[in-house]
Structure formats: structure tokens, C-alpha cells
Amino acid sequence: MPCSGEPRVPVMGSSTGLMGLLTQHQSNLLIPLFDLDDDLEEYKELVGAQGDTDGQSLRNYRREQHLLRKMLLDRRRIAQCGICGSSLPKDLLVAAHIKQRAKCSTEEKLDLPNIAMLMCDFGCDGLYEDGFIYVEEGTVKTRPMAGDPAALRDKLVSLEGLTCNEWSEARRGYFQWHRANVSREY
Ligand SMILES: [Zn+2]
């Protein structure tokens, strides 16, 4: 859902004009980033860091994902999957890059909160990551194939046409990149 139709509200404690211009949705996304300054600083360092060893790189990656997820959750114990819309406990939600992380520039990785969104472990994260589903102009689309196993077919049917509440103008390019470059292989 585009943000343009939402009421613009001032943000408590903000002395800048910028925050007052943001929609409620955008403000909700940004507030945790300001509250969690330490997390954001560490995230920035990790994004810019190159590990000396594979083990170090893996640790850095895991820590980066942990911080990203924490910022997206914003202290919520229950949050919505950005694809299917299900409200779920945080342990069942992951921080998913809308544009494949490995293909993101450092600048894009730092484009918080637009580059990532929460997706559920009940299939949406994996289906999106492997291109079984994509988002086009705010609508969830699927790529079914003849011969798909029933469980996959039924899951895709349940997702086709849903509104992706996480879609926004700022994220359009990332969703378009995913649609054009990530597609199921079988
Ligand atoms: Zn989901």
C-alpha cells in the first residue's frame, strides 16, 4: 500500500522538520532506528567490514542479519509477515532482503528501512528468496508450474493476489530487481 494516502503526523520529541514530513508508516519504521543507535552503528560497521577469514565473514553476516531483524521487529513480540500478512511470534519471522543481499551495494544495504522486510518461516521467506513468488506494484504474484506438488500449488494459490503492505515507492526498485533477476528454476 503506498504511503501517500496516510496522514502526516508530527513525531514526539523531534526538533527537525524532516520527521514532521514523514507519514505515520515511515515514522514507525524510522523511530526504532533512532532509538537503537548502537545497533545501527554496529550494523553500519558490519556492512562495511570485510572479514579476514571465512569464519569471521560468517560471524559478521550472522550478526548483521541479527541486527537487521532486531531493527525491523522494533521490540515487537508479534509482527506481520510482509508477504502473507500473518501475525506471528518474532521467532518465526526473518529479516529478508527485498533485493538479494549479495547483489546489493554497500549503499543499498544501508538503505534502512527500505532494503529489507520481515517474512515468515512458514514459506514466504523461502518462496521469495528462490523466486517462486515476487511483488509487482504492491501485489503478491506467483510462478506456478504444471506438475507442482500439491503443497506448493496450494501455497502459491493462497498467496497469489495478496496485497503486500510493505510495498512502497522507496522499495519499488528493489522489488523490480527481484522480479527481473530471481526466478524459480524448476
Ligand atoms: Zn508469510
- What are the Cα distances from residue 143, in Å, to 8, 109, 130, 139, 181? 37, 27, 11, 13, 14
What per-residue confidence (pLDDT) applies to 24?
A: 60
Report how far ligand 1's centroid is from the alpha carbon of 167 (Å): 14
51-55, 104-108, 140-144 — which is least confidently predicted?
A: 51-55
18 pLDDT higher than 70:
no
What per-residue confidence (pLDDT) applies to 54?
A: 74
Report how far ligand 1's centroid is from the alpha carbon of 16 (Å): 36
Report how far ligand 1's centroid is from the alpha carbon of 99 (Å): 17
6-15, 26-35, 115-124 — which is least confidently predicted?
A: 6-15
Report how far ligand 1's centroid is from the alpha carbon of 53 (Å): 34
Q: Kindly report the average pLDDT of the chain as a whole number.
A: 84
Confidence of residue 160 (pLDDT cuts 50, 70, 90): very high
DSSP 92: G
82 pLDDT higher than 80:
yes
48-57, 93-102, 145-154 — which is least confidently predicted?
A: 48-57
C-alpha cell, 119: 517474512
With beta carbons less than 8 A apart as the criterion, state whether 178 and 99 touch.
yes
DSSP 91: G
C-alpha cell, 167: 510495498
**Domain-wise residue ranges, the chain:** 77-181
2 pLDDT higher than 70:
no
4 pLDDT higher than 90:
no
